[in-house]
């Protein structure tokens, strides 16, 4: 009965889990599954513990962990100082965040977010003003450069005016 | 059972060695802190001595009969606020554990595998596919004598340890071949101490000297720097 109940719990489909951005979730789920299977196997091999004879004993609730990194709270072994290897120094930040449990899913490896706070604030601000359609993901500086390059393309004058209002007078 | 017989023999050995004297001697040399106890294999720590322990670490087993915990490695008992208890062992011999980051030296190549010396009883192996970006066609460029920083993905008492230079997300994240540099060996407890978050030694050296280091839990250390001067090594060896 209990097994049937477990199967009814909502699960993510395998297709979704195969996607790249779901990799971390997939790993977590697999780890849980493995733990469950191990426990089942253990209770099958040790019928005495599953029958509740020894369950009152504190010892049965004790987990075994042989991982020095977890036991002694060790940091990542590769370290660089005074900018000798900038890549490793980025990794140090990454592992430090991981150790403190501060790592969020949106962050990339080097510890920088894909969309930084300034960009986010800017975009949201424009959206509020109703100018989000005009932006389309380019910063105004880049866009101006593109416009200069592609002079042959007709750009509505209206947009040009608006932008110059936004960022102060253009340097000629 | 063979297990309990083994424990008994350890116990008799401990008695014949005059444990109190031994423990005091060792205690002075390993940990100068007060309030820590040295244990030898075979001793049983009663569960009342370690109340509220949830995670049992290295060197401890559940004693048969539910009496408490059986010590299987000689060392100092340590506990922390995360309800963990383990034996901190002072040793130069490395026993592979799943998930450890180690420094190893490639000793030979056999077909699709590289043999790597990580200082354990048996040589570890690594598949040429366990590197970032490696495919059947695009093999990693490794030769005998190259130094690797890798993670142990299989540790069994019946098999050779297996290494990998990629994590679960198939990214290297600092693991892989270590170019140039200098490798030397220290004791495993020293290596762990260097990696402890509270250890300021590496940071202190880092304030003076520009360098890069890879500390393996197996006690092998790889260093790379512009000026590998004597002072630098003195720093590491002295502490």
Residue ranges of alpha helices (H) inside chain B are 2-16, 19-30, 188-195, 201-208, 230-238
Are residues A56 and A91 both part of a single domain? no
Q: Is the same domain home to A50 and A104? A: no
What is d(CA B105, CA A59) in angstroms, rounded to the nearest whole number? Answer: 41
How many of the other CB atoms lie within 10 Å of CB of B195? 22
Domain that holds residue A98: 82-128
Is the pLDDT score of B60 beyond 70? Answer: yes
Question: Percent helix, strand and coil across chain A, each rounded to 5?
Answer: 60, 5, 35
Q: What is the pTM of this model?
A: 0.67
Given 2.40.100.10, 3.30.420.40, 3.30.30.10, 3.30.1370.10, which CATH number is that of B183-238? 3.30.1370.10
H or E segment and range at residue B85 = strand B84-88
Residues of B in contact with A59 (CB under 8 A): 47, 62, 66, 68
Distance CA A128, CA A123 (A): 9
Q: Check whether residue A60 and residue A96 sit in a common domain.
A: no
The residues with which B75 forms a beta bridge, in sequence order, are: B39
Per-residue pLDDT, A155: 47
Position B200 scores a pLDDT of 86
Contact between A77 and B205 using a beta-carbon 8 Å cutoff:
no
Same domain membership, residue A50 and residue A11: yes
Provide the residue ranges of all domains of chain B, joining segments of one domain with +. 2-88, 101-179, 183-238
With beta carbons under 8 A apart, name residues in chain B contacting A107: none
The number of domains in chain A is 2
In whole angstroms, give the CA distance from residue A45 to residue B8: 26
Rounded Cα distance, B198 and A72, in Å: 10
Which domain-ending residue is among A128, A148, A165?
Answer: A128
Instruction: Please list the residues that pair with B69 across neighbouring strands.
Output: B45, B62
Alpha-carbon span A127 to A104, nearest angstrom: 26
Residue B78 reports pLDDT greater than 50: yes
Element holding B149 (H helix, E strand):
strand B147-154
Q: Exposed/middle/buried for B26, CB within 10 Å: 0-12, 13-18, 19+?
A: middle
DSSP assignment string, A54-101: STTSGGGG-EE---HHHHTTBPPSEEE-TTSSHHHHHHHHHHHHHHTT
Put simply, the chain B residues between 107 and 136 with a CB less than 8 A from any chain A CB are none
The span from the CA of A124 to the CA of A132, in Å, is: 8
Kindly state the tokens that stand for A154. 């007709």
Report if residue A133 sits inside a domain.
no
SS3 A29: helix
The pLDDT value given to residue B3: 35
pLDDT of B218: 93
The larger pLDDT score, comparing residue B227 to residue A49, is at B227
What pLDDT is attached to residue B231?
Answer: 58
Please write down the long-range contacts of B11-18, taking CB distance under 8 Å and 24 or more positions apart: B11/B42, B11/B43, B13/B42, B14/B40, B14/B41, B14/B42, B14/B43
CA distance B126 to B161: 9
Q: Which helix (H) or strand (E) holds B78?
A: strand B75-79
Question: A57 or B59: whose pLDDT is higher?
Answer: B59
Instruction: Look at B157 and A141; give whichever has higher pLDDT.
Output: B157
Rounded CA separation A20/B35 (Å): 51
CATH class of the domain at B101-179: mainly beta
pLDDT digits (tens, 9 = 90+) for B9-35: 344 444 444 444 334 433 333 444 556
B134-153 mean pLDDT: 92
A22, A51: one domain: yes
Which chain B residues are closer than 8 Å to A69 by Cβ? Answer: 99-101, 217
Measured in angstroms, the CA of A28 and the nearest CA of chain B are apart by 11
Q: How far apart are the first and last CA of chain A?
A: 78
> Are residues A53 and A86 located together in one domain of the fold?
no
- CATH topology identical between B2-88 and B101-179: yes
Residues A18 and A52 occupy one common structural domain: yes
Residues of chain A scoring pLDDT < 70: 1-9, 46-60, 103-115, 130-172
A59 with A6, same domain? Answer: yes
**What is the pLDDT at residue B164?**
95
Q: Does any CB of chain A come closer than 8 Å to the CB of residue B77?
A: no
> What is the model's pLDDT at position B31?
44
Q: Of A64, A91, A114, which closes a domain?
A: A64
Instruction: Pick A101 or B162 by higher pLDDT.
Output: B162
Structure tokens at B49: 């001595």
Instruction: Yes or no: say if B160 and B121 are a contact pair by the CB < 8 Å rule.
Output: no
Which of A23, A46, A62 to substitute to test the interface with B, most B CBs within 10 Å?
A62
Q: Is residue A142 part of a domain?
A: no
Within a domain: A86 = yes
A101 — phi, psi (to 5°)? Answer: 70, 25
In a domain, A138, yes or no: no
Averaged pLDDT of chain B: 81
**Average pLDDT rounded to a whole number, residues B56-84:** 86
The pLDDT of residue B126: 96
CATH architecture observed for domain B2-88: Beta Barrel (2.40)
The ipTM assigned to this model is 0.73
């Amino acid at each position: 009965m209990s097994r049937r109940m477990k199967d009814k719990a909502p699960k993510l489909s395998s297709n979704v889990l195969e996607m790249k951005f779901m990799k971390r979730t997939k790993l977590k789920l697999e780890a849980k599954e493995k733990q469950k299977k191990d426990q089942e196997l253990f209770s099958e091999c040790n019928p005495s513990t599953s029958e509740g004879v020894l369950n009152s004993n504190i010892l049965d609730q004790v987990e075994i962990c042989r991982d020095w990194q977890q036991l002694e709270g060790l940091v990542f072994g590769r370290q660089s100082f005074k900018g000798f290897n900038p890549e490793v120094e980025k990794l140090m930040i990454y592992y430090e965040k991981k150790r403190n449990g501060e790592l969020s899913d949106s962050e990339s490896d080097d510890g920088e977010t894909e969309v930084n706070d300034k960009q986010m604030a800017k975009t949201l601000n424009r959206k509020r003003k109703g100018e989000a359609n005009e932006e389309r993901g380019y910063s105004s500086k880049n866009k101006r450069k593109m416009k200069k390059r592609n002079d042959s393309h007709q750009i509505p004058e209206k947009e040009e005016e608006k932008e110059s209002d936004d960022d102060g007078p253009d340097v000629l | 059972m063979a297990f309990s017989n083994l424990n008994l023999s350890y116990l008799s050995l401990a008695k014949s060695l005059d444990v109190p004297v031994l423990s005091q001697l060792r205690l002075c040399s390993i940990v100068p802190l007060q309030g820590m106890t040295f244990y030898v294999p075979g001793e049983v720590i009663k569960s009342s001595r370690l109340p509220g322990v949830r995670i049992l670490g290295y060197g401890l087993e559940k004693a048969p009969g539910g009496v408490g915990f059986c010590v299987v490695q000689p060392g100092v008992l340590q506990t922390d606020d995360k309800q963990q208890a383990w034996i901190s062992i002072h040793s130069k011999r490395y026993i592979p554990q799943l998930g450890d980051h180690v420094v190893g030296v490639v000793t030979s190549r056999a077909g699709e595998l590289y043999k790597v010396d990580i200082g354990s009883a048996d040589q570890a192996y690594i598949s040429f596919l366990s590197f970032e970006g490696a495919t059947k066609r695009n093999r990693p460029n490794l030769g005998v004598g190259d130094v690797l920083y890798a993670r142990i993905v299989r540790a069994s008492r019946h098999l050779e340890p297996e290494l990998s230079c990629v994590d679960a997300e198939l990214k290297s994240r600092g693991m892989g071949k270590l170019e140039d540099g200098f490798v030397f060996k220290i004791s495993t407890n020293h290596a762990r101490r260097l990696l402890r978050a509270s250890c300021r030694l590496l940071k202190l050296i880092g304030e003076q000297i520009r360098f890069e280091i890879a500390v393996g839990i197996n006690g092998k250390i790889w260093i790379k720097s512009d000026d590998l001067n004597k002072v630098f090594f003195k720093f590491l060896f002295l502490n």
